[in-house]
Amino acid sequence: MRTRSPKSVTYEKSFTFAVRVVKAYKWLCESKKEYVLSKQLLRSGTSIGANVKEGLYAQSKKDFITKLTIALKEAAESEYWIELLSAGQYLDENTAASMLEDISEIMKLLTASVKTAKAGLKECIVDSA
């Protein structure tokens, strides 16, 4: 049983995606004997949720923005590895499309969160001036 984080759609979707990536990694290693690209996907795909969770416990708004920006970069990297695994025919079209849809949704959530947090940070700076 896992410990629940504060309510966060982004965290929940990132966690679910990470579980999916772990399963894909195991399948790629066992069935396709593909170890290099799948390991890259494993690292970036599981890092998204880890950074989101760190962001939920950030020490400041700047720290929160930093963690979510890192998560967004990891999501973009994951997207690349999925595209490459698909192009190399390690992932079938349906699986790749589904994973790309998931990562696209996560990237949109992260982008919106970062923009909102940055706007709030600017308001804090203007208010204190």
- The structural domains of the chain, ordered by start, are 9-128 (1.20.1440.60)
CA distance 8 to 11: 5
**Between these two residues, 78 and 2, which has the higher pLDDT value?**
78
pTM of the complete model: 0.90
Cβ atoms of 6 and 56 within 8 Å: the answer is yes
**Region 36-42: what's the mean pLDDT?**
98
Average pLDDT over residues 7-28: 97
Proportion of the chain above pLDDT 70, given as a percent: 91
Average pLDDT, the chain: 93
Q: How confident is the model at residue 73 (pLDDT cuts 50, 70, 90)?
A: very high
**How far is the C-alpha of 110 from the C-alpha of 116, rounded, in Å?**
10
Least-confidence region, from 2-11, 42-51, 76-85, 86-95: 2-11
